[in-house]
C-alpha cells in the first residue's frame, strides 16, 4: 500500500475514533476535547510515531486556519462591538504582561535564563478555550461572556505568535531592535486585517446573488486558507487574516448571503471544526509525553503557578474597569486553557535553541494541566455561578 493510502487510512481511523469518543463524552457530559486528549495520551505507546513529527506544521498550516476562521464566523458582531475594549486589553497588553511575568518568575526563581523564559512566556500566554466554548454552547451561557472568551483567544493567538518570533531571536542570541520589532508587530496585525477584509469583500462580491450554498461553502474554504497563506507570504499574521475574513463576511451587508445560506455555511464549518479539533487533540495526546511531568520540576512549577496567577490578576485587576460583573470575571479567569498552538510553537523551536528542553517541558505540563483541570471543572463552575 502506498504512503498516500496509508495516510488516508490513518485519517479515516482517527476520525472514527474521534466520533466514538465524542459520542461517549457527550453522554458522560465531559468536554470532548479533554476526552480526546486523554484517549490520545493512553494510545500514544501504540500509535504510529511518524505523524507526531509533522504536528507543528500540521497545526499551523492545516488545522489552524480552519479553526480560527470557524470561530470568527460564529462571533456576533454586535456583541463584539459592545465588548471590544476588554477583549483588546486581554489580548494585547494582557498577553505581554503574562509573558513578562512568566519570564521574570522563571528566570528569578527557577534559574532559567531570561530569553528562554520569555519564549516560554510567549508560548503559554495565548489561551485556547475549545473545551470551554463547547460547554458554553451546550449550557447557553450569556452571549457577551462567550464573545469575550472566544474573541480574546482568537486575538491573543496572533499577538502571542508575534511575540514568540521576537523571543526566539533573543534566545538565539540575535540582536533585536525594539523599535523595528514594534513596527513589524503593528504591520503584522494591520496588514493581516487588511488582507482578510479584502479577501472577504472579493468573496461576498463574487458570490452575491448565488443561491447554491455549495459555492459559498467551497469559496469560504478558499477564503479561510487563501487569506491565511497570502498573509503569511506577506510576512503578516495568518491568524489575524483568517479571523478578519471570518468576521468581515457579515459586515458587507449589501452583499451578505441569505439567512438560509448562512445557516448552511455555519453547518459546513461546524463539521470542519469538529474534524480539525478532533485530530488536533488526538495528536496532542500522542505528543504529550507524561515523563516530561517530572523533568525541570522547578521551571514547571513556577510556570504553572504564574499562568494561573496572571489570569487571576487580569480578570480581577483589569476587567472591573470595563464593568464586567464578578461572576463573569470568575469565568474569564478560569477559561484560560492552553492548547494546540502552544504545543505546536514549543515543538517548532530550533533544536539548538538554548533552554529548548525546559521550554518544551514547561509548555507540555501547562497545556496538560489547564486542559484537564479547567476543562473538566468549567461546567460545575458555570452551574454554581448560575450562568447557565
Whether the per-residue pLDDT at 35 is higher than 70: the answer is yes
d(CA 169, CA 309) in angstroms, rounded, equals 27
What confidence tens digit (pLDDT) does each residue in 349-368 have? 888 999 998 999 899 889 98
d(CA 230, CA 178) in angstroms, rounded, equals 26
**Helix, strand, coil share of the chain (percent; to 5):** 80, 0, 20
Residues 375 and 35 sit within 8 Å (Cβ to Cβ)? no
CA dihedral 202, 208, 214, 215 (to 10 degrees): -40
CATH number of 352's domain: 1.20.1530.20
d(CA 283, CA 280) in angstroms, rounded, equals 5
The number of domains in the chain is 1
What confidence tens digit (pLDDT) does each residue in 259-304 have? 787 788 888 998 888 888 888 888 888 877 777 677 788 999 999 9
Predicted structure pTM score = 0.89
CA 294 to centroid of chain Cα atoms: 26
Mean pLDDT, the chain, whole residue set: 87
The residue written with cell numbers 507570504 in the block is 233
Q: Which pairs with CB-CB distance under 8 Å and at least 24 residues apart come from 314-323?
A: 314/90, 314/94, 314/97, 314/98, 318/86, 318/89, 318/90, 318/94, 319/86, 319/90, 322/83, 322/85, 322/86, 322/89
Q: Which three cell numbers stand for residue 116?
A: 528562554
What's the rounded mean pLDDT across residues 33-58? 70
Treating both helix axes as pointing N-terminal to C-terminal, what angle do 114-124 and 297-317 enclose, rounded to 10 degrees?
Answer: 50
Domain extent for 336: 3-384
Amino acid at each position: 500500500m502506498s504512503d498516500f493510502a496509508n495516510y488516508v487510512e490513518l485519517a479515516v481511523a482517527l476520525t472514527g475514533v474521534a466520533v466514538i469518543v465524542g459520542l461517549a463524552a457527550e453522554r458522560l457530559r465531559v468536554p470532548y476535547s479533554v476526552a480526546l486528549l486523554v484517549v490520545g495520551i493512553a494510545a500514544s505507546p501504540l500509535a504510529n510515531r511518524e505523524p507526531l513529527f509533522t504536528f507543528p506544521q500540521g497545526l499551523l498550516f492545516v488545522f489552524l486556519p480552519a479553526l480560527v476562521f470557524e470561530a470568527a464566523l460564529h462571533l456576533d458582531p454586535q456583541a463584539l462591538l459592545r465588548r471590544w475594549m476588554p477583549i483588546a486589553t486581554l489580548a494585547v497588553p494582557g498577553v505581554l504582561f503574562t509573558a513578562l511575568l512568566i519570564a521574570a518568575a522563571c528566570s528569578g526563581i527557577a534559574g532559567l535564563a531570561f530569553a528562554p523564559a520569555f519564549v516560554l512566556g510567549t508560548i503559554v500566554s495565548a489561551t485556547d478555550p475549545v473545551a470551554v466554548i463547547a460547554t458554553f454552547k451546550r449550557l447557553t451561557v450569556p452571549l457577551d461572556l462567550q464573545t469575550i472568551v472566544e474573541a480574546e483567544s482568537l486575538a491573543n493567538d496572533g499577538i502571542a505568535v508575534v511575540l514568540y518570533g521576537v523571543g526566539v531571536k533573543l534566545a538565539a542570541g540575535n540582536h533585536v531592535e525594539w523599535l523595528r520589532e514594534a513596527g513589524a508587530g503593528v504591520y503584522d496585525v494591520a496588514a493581516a486585517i487588511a488582507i482578510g477584509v479584502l479577501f472577504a469583500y472579493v468573496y461576498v462580491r463574487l458570490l452575491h446573488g448565488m443561491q447554491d450554498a455549495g459555492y459559498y461553502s467551497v469559496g469560504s474554504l478558499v477564503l479561510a486558507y487563501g487569506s491565511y497563506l497570502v498573509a503569511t507570504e506577506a510576512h503578516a499574521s495568518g491568524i489575524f487574516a483568517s479571523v478578519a475574513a471570518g468576521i468581515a463576511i457579515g459586515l458587507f451587508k449589501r452583499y451578505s448571503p441569505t439567512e438560509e445560506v448562512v445557516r448552511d455555511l455555519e453547518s459546513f464549518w461546524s463539521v470542519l471544526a469538529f474534524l480539525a479539533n478532533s485530530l488536533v487533540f488526538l495528536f496532542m495526546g500522542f505528543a504529550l509525553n507524561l515523563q516530561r511531568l517530572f523533568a525541570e520540576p522547578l521551571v514547571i512549577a513556577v510556570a504553572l503557578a504564574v499562568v494561573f496567577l496572571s489570569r487571576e490578576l487580569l480578570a480581577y485587576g483589569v476587567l472591573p474597569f470595563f464593568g464586567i460583573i464578578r461572576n463573569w470575571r470568575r469565568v474569564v479567569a478560569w477559561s484560560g486553557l492552553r492548547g494546540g498552538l502552544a504545543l505546536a510553537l514549543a515543538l517548532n523551536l530550533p533544536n539548538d535553541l538554548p533552554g529548548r528542553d525546559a521550554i518544551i517541558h514547561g509548555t507540555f505540563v501547562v497545556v496538560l494541566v489547564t486542559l484537564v483541570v479547567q476543562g473538566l471543572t468549567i461546567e460545575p463552575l458555570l452551574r454554581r455561578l448560575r450562568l447557565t
